């Protein structure tokens, strides 16, 4: 069930029709409400740290890559593998569009292979892993 929650949240944060740059605590509150604290063994502070280094908490963040793909949203979901931007070839493993409001990126059939992208984990490893991350949630009303 938590996997569906995470995938729904990631989909909603890819990019929304009303782009938003979240404050640290706004995003922490949203992720906390969705039950991500402890999901896959990662604390809420880890998720917030990861989001900061991926997008600066900007839901409209886009980054074009040399291979013609684009990374989208808070967690920089890649169009070549994870979502469909309707401009470049894609595997679309999450079965979601890269932009727009995405209410539930995981098909109820459970056939999606949508996961946290490896480049996101790599950035988390470089910037967040093994560090005191308490500052990412300090002062937030959780």
CB 86 within 8 A of CB 100: no
Instruction: Tell me whether residue 132 is one of the annotated catalytic residues.
Output: no
Selecting among 34, 54, 67, 132, the annotated active-site residue is 54
Selecting among 37, 71, 132, 141, the annotated active-site residue is 71
Q: Rounded to whole angstroms, how far apart are CA atoms 101 and 86?
A: 15
Instruction: Tell me whether residue 54 is one of the annotated catalytic residues.
Output: yes
Q: How far is CA 139 from CA 19, 35, 60, 71, 134, in A?
A: 25, 19, 26, 30, 10
Length of the chain: 142
Q: Rounded to whole angstroms, how far apart are CA atoms 80 and 140?
A: 35
Q: Rounded to whole angstroms, how far apart are CA atoms 129 and 142?
A: 22
Catalytic residue positions? 54, 71
């Amino acid at each position: 069930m938590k996997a569906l929650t995470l995938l729904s949240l990631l989909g909603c944060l890819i990019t929304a029709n009303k782009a938003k740059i979240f404050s640290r605590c706004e995003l922490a509150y949203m992720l906390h409400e969705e039950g991500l604290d402890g999901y896959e063994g990662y604390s809420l502070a880890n998720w917030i740290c990861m989001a900061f280094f991926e997008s600066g908490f900007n839901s409209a963040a886009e980054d074009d890559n040399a291979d013609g793909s684009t990374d989208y949203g808070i967690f920089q979901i890649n169009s070549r593998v994870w979502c469909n931007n309707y401009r470049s070839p894609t595997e679309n493993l999450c079965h979601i569009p890269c932009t727009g409001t995405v209410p539930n990126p995981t098909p109820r059939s459970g056939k999606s292979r949508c996961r946290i992208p490896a480049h996101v984990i790599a950035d988390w490893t470089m910037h967040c892993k093994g560090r005191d991350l308490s500052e990412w949630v300090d002062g937030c009303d959780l």
